Amino acid sequence: MGDGSGPAPTAELVATVTNVADAVAAAHAADVDRRARFPTEALAALAAEGVLAALVPAALGGPDRPLSEVAESVAALGRQCASSAMVLAMHHIQVACLARHGNTPALRELTAGLVDRPLLLASATTEVGIGGDVRSSRCALERGGGRFHLVKEAPVISYGAQADAVLVTARRDAASPPNDQVLVVCRPPDLELEQVSEWDTLGFRGTCSPGFVLRASGDDDLVLPEPYGEISARTMLPVAHVLWGAVWWGIASAAAQRARAFVQAAARKSPGTPPEAARRVAELLAVHGQLADAVRGGARRFDDARDDPGVLSSVGFALAMNSLKVSASTLVVDVVHRAVQVCGMAGYRDGGPYGLGRHLRDAYGAALMVNNDRILGNNAQLLLVHRGVE
């Protein structure tokens, strides 16, 4: 992504991202969606403002912002361009993994370097042949002479062609079972991505997430020391569910605002007579509030427990974060659907101040990002050993 001007002042993260959203992302969002192209302008502006380093720890020279603040900023971007917000969210998830678990000298140097040179980080956790189960891998690291080699068939790598590094899951070695996984940082020039599919989807088109065959090598100290299972439970899963939820919250906020503006415009045409749709907007805003509260509550829950491995690894915490993902991905569709009902043909039509086609298409992708059925199945298993309801 090139050199930036350093981290945004910590008290101004949300304001900084809001400015980028309104001044840059909004101007290009329709084109990003129409052409299924990477949101280059928005990500370049975020990098220049130091936003990509928001989760770098203070000990490494970073802003070390709480997840609650980062979630608010992602939602602000999502109000204008969901694809830009999802790219930012997925980048932050990888930074969180490095910041909290990247304890080798090479990984600490990489994380600290994000402050002055904001690299864009991507993720490759899915794999052909494992059916969407990110806690299993077919590929394995081949090790020797202090280096590793890796080949992974990934059905999707979001913005893989634009990323400066990719964090990849793999079996610890060829003799390891599928769930004995590690997380490894792969970077050019030792990273090769061979694109094997296209990305032409209903929504989140600007995330540019085709399939790749990933071939990589590198020094062993680019392998995160902790097992991926612990990294996933304590960081990747909760941070992902909070920040994905923040993206969907942003989509819902945009839809709610368009519905409100539509009704206000109708009211100005008939002073003294409340539009018939005003009640529907009130109902819509109640659902939107549930979504906002769910995301904010999940972020606070993580911030409160961020340094407590016992809580982060608990069944109750996993259930709560899984439930957040399912709830948020369901509520965003509800909000946008209600907004379409309020705006009628003005919302159904592409373009114009009330058009909601892009928002509805993006919203329907939420339940498919780690399919809700899989998450509910995991929760069903967890409930068999969990005592009580939180």
What does the pLDDT look like over 357-376, one tens digit per residue?
999 999 999 999 888 888 88
| DSSP one-letter string for 206-218 | GG----EEEEEEE
pLDDT at 5 over 50: no
Which pLDDT value is given to residue 272? 78
As annotated, the residues of the chain forming the CATH 1.10.540.10 domain(s) are 10-120
As annotated, the residues of the chain forming the CATH 1.20.140.10 domain(s) are 228-383
The tens digit of pLDDT for each residue in 87-135 reads 999 999 999 999 999 999 999 999 999 999 999 999 999 999 987 789 9
Strands 212-219 and 142-144, by their bridges, are unpaired
**Quick one: DSSP state of residue 233?**
I
The two three-digit tokens of residue 134, written as one number: 């990110």
What CATH number has the domain spanning 228-383? 1.20.140.10
| DSSP one-letter string for 285-334 | HHHHHHHHHHHHHHHHHHHHHTT-HHHHTSHHHHHHHHHHHHHHHHHHHH
**pTM exceeding the 0.85 threshold for the entire prediction:** yes
Strand partners, 375: none
Cβ burial of 212 (10 Å; 0-12, 13-18, 19+) is buried
What CATH number has the domain spanning 10-120? 1.10.540.10
As annotated, the residues of the chain forming the CATH 2.40.110.10 domain(s) are 122-222
Q: How confident is the model at residue 159 (pLDDT cuts 50, 70, 90)?
A: very high
Q: Determine the average pLDDT of the residues in 17-34.
A: 98
Share of the chain above pLDDT 70, in %: 96
What is each CA distance from 117 to 5, 101, 109, 122, 214, in whole angstroms? 9, 20, 12, 16, 24
More confident residue, 9 or 314: 314
Q: How far is CA 345 from the centre of its chain?
A: 31
The tens digit of pLDDT for each residue in 304-315 reads 999 999 999 999
pLDDT at 2 over 50: no
Fold classification of 122-222 is Butyryl-CoA Dehydrogenase, subunit A; domain 2 (2.40.110)
The tens digit of pLDDT for each residue in 200-237 reads 999 999 999 999 999 999 999 999 999 999 999 999 99
More confident residue, 237 or 269: 237
Which pLDDT value is given to residue 270? 82
Q: Determine the average pLDDT of the residues in 11-39.
A: 96
